[in-house]
Amino acid sequence: MDEIEISREPIRPIECLRAGWELIRDQYLLFVVMCVLAGMISSALAIVLWGPIVTGLFYALLRKTRNRRVELSHLFKGFDLFGKAFLTYLLQVLILMGLGLILFVPVVLLFIAMVVSQQGAPGQPPNPGLFLTLIALYVFAILALNLANVFFVYSFPLLIDRGLEPVAALRVSAAAVWRHLWSQLGLMILSALLILVGFAFCCVGALLVLPITYAAEAVAYRRMFPDPPPREDDLDPEFDEPMEGDSLDTELGDDAPPARFADPEFPHGFRSTKKP
């Protein structure tokens, strides 16, 4: 696959949040339902289902960036790329677990040192220096893990939009975030603040702002990765020509094999399964 170009267009966090709201405003309640369903479904078996579910959510959002209508069924579109989506999330989890292990080893060792020192001086308060250092290391580890997670946020839309393999999607996502690091940190912080404010309203508010934060990520993604031009090997007049309206279904003859992955909207990610 050709090297994917990452736009240098500035990513402004507040502008992305505003544009995210405008993006989904006409179907806002549908996206709220999608986020609720995504949480409910993935909570059953997160390690297996979260990748395909969030891929489907980004599929719907990327449709909106092209002024297409979205249906609830689009949330499950990520299951057409189940293997890629699952492996992408699994790799994310493994990377974060490895990083977490490295970051929390000093925290655990310092905690053990504090316990040992307390046993030698029963009834005495903990050493203030050790205690403050322990808190600082713990906070640093949590912040570092959250920062690391930001680098992978665009891996799922890259599966759909550019048809990348999991490792390549993670690599390109990390490169894009690194190029726009401060903007991405700003967007992450603003999104987190919105969700925290939402939690203040009996948690219901968090569900109401969550679709906007995802939409803001989709807006930022599209600005970093403008729509790719179609490739000749991706286009198949029998499998990739949309039917009447904006449906993503494909026109199949009676004898044609099923085109499960054929998608005229995202031909790079959903390829035709037509046999020569």
DSSP for 135-150, written as a single string? HHHHHHHHHHHHHHHH
For position 204, what pLDDT does the model report? 80
How is 68-137 classified by DSSP, letter by letter?
Answer: ----GGGGGGGGGGHHHHHHHHHHHHHHHHHHHHHHHHHHHHHHHHHHHHHHHSTTSPPPHHHHHHHHHH
Contact, 132 vs 91, CB < 8 A?
no
Strand partners for 250: 242
**What phi and psi, each to the nearest 5 degrees, are found at residue 12?**
-100, 115
- Which position has the token pair 């189940």? 82
Residue 226's identity, in one-letter code, is P
45-49, 91-95, 203-207, 226-230: least confidently modelled range: 226-230
Q: What does the block give as tokens for 177?
A: 């975030």
Nearest to 157 by CA among 182, 177, 142: 177
| pLDDT tens-digit series, residues 92-108 | 999 999 999 999 998 89
> For 61, which DSSP code?
H
Nearest to 184 by CA among 226, 142, 227, 213: 213
Alpha carbons within 13 angstroms on the beta-carbon side of residue 241 total: 7
Contact, 1 vs 168, CB < 8 A?
yes
| Range 48-58 average pLDDT | 94
- Which position has the token pair 């031909």? 267
Tell me the pTM.
0.79
Banded model confidence at residue 242, pLDDT cuts 50, 70, 90: very low
**What phi and psi, each to the nearest 5 degrees, are found at residue 253?**
-75, 170
| pLDDT tens-digit series, residues 99-139 | 999 999 988 988 888 877 777 666 677 677 778 888 999 99
Q: CA–CA separation, 30 vs 23, rounded Å?
A: 13
Task: Measure CA 256 to chain center.
Answer: 35
Nearest to 178 by CA among 153, 145, 215: 153
Question: Cβ-count burial of 120 within 10 angstroms (0-12 exposed, 13-18 middle, 19+ buried)?
Answer: exposed
Q: CA–CA separation, 82 vs 53, rounded Å?
A: 9
| pLDDT tens-digit series, residues 173-224 | 999 999 999 999 999 999 999 999 888 877 788 889 999 999 999 999 999 9
